[in-house]
A and B are shown apart, each in its own frame.
Chain A
Amino acid sequence: GEDVEQSLFLSVREGDSSVINCTYTDSSSTYLYWYKQEPGAGLQLLTYIFSNMDMKQDQRLTVLLNKKDKHLSLRIADTQTGDSAIYFCAESGSNTGKLIFGQGTTLQVKP
């Protein structure tokens, strides 16, 4: 069945790059998404990538997709304390558009 897995925790120093990894099982996924969740706030879409792309860059965010290995990563350059949050990767492949989320990676940014 569909499954998405992420590492649970990442700690970096302010100014460093952060890399959050995700693996998924559904090879029919057409879009893969990264969402951010801050305490008390709703899920916010950060970026997405279409399955026929290898890389997408959006300001400080770089998404890499290895479709053969079903591996997705999110790189945040020059990580700031405001980037501290839980990051979820999600896949969507069916016509329903329903999202299958990983369990989330907590990013801690130390000053």
Chain B
Amino acid sequence: DTGVSQDPRHKITKRGQNVTFRCDPISEHNRLYWYRQTLGQGPEFLTYFQNEAQLEKSRLLSDRFSAERPKGSFSTLEIQRTEQGDSAMYLCASSFLTGDSYNEQFFGPGTRLTVL
């Protein structure tokens, strides 16, 4: 297994366009997380899935954002009608939930979005 992968690595789009990012987690990881990181800040939690169920969404996730994990494997994050404020690095992480609350998350390299 090569770890968490994300595609594309970079995306430049014009304001108002829709974009979709993909995350492939480590196989057999049952949890998948999306975070957003802006310059000079730490990652901020957006949403997470346990298997195919989306269990929590941050208030940061406006109704222009939607995420899916249809078969409990890869996930997509779509942003509709992008705004310049959406420019950020979008990070995906996966983990395997055990009985303990220890939850080591493995991060992908991120998708850098630039909205012009």
Q: Is the CB of B42 within 8 A of A103?
A: yes
Q: Is the CB of B48 within 8 A of A97?
A: yes
Q: Is the CB of A43 within 8 A of B104?
A: no
A56: shortest Cβ distance to chain B, in Å? 13
- A77 within 8 Å of B by Cβ? no
Interface size class of B (residues with CB under 8 A): 20 to 34
Question: Which residues from chain B sit less than 8 Å from chain A, CB to CB?
Answer: 4, 31, 33, 35, 40-45, 48, 55-56, 91, 93, 95, 97, 101-110
Q: Which residue of A lies closest to B42 (CB)?
A: A101
Q: Is the CB of B33 within 8 A of A4?
A: no
Q: Is the CB of A97 within 8 A of B43?
A: no
Q: Which of A66-93 contact B (CB under 8 A)?
A: 88, 90, 92
Q: Is the CB of A96 within 8 A of B104?
A: no
- A99 within 8 Å of B by Cβ? yes
Once bound together, how far apart are the Cα atoms of A43 and B45, in whole Å?
14
Interface size class of A (residues with CB under 8 A): 20 to 34
Residues of A within 8 A of B91 (CB): 42-43
A10: shortest Cβ distance to chain B, in Å? 15
Q: Is the CB of B104 within 8 A of A42?
A: no
Residues of B within 8 A of A99 (CB): 33, 35, 43, 45, 105
B88: shortest Cβ distance to chain A, in Å? 14
Residues of A within 8 A of B102 (CB): 31, 48, 50
Q: Is the CB of A42 within 8 A of B105?
A: no
A90: shortest Cβ distance to chain B, in Å? 8
Residues of A within 8 A of B97 (CB): 97
With contacts A98-B48, A101-B42 taken as known, whether A42 is within 8 angstroms of B4 at the C-beta atoms is yes
Q: Is the CB of B42 within 8 A of A4?
A: yes
With contacts A96-B55, A101-B42, A103-B40 taken as known, whether A41 is within 8 angstroms of B109 at the C-beta atoms is yes
A26: shortest Cβ distance to chain B, in Å? 13
Residues of A within 8 A of B40 (CB): 103-104
Once bound together, how far apart are the Cα atoms of A88 and B105, in whole Å?
14
Q: Which of A21-63 contact B (CB under 8 A)?
A: 30-31, 35, 40-45, 48, 50
B55: shortest Cβ distance to chain A, in Å? 7
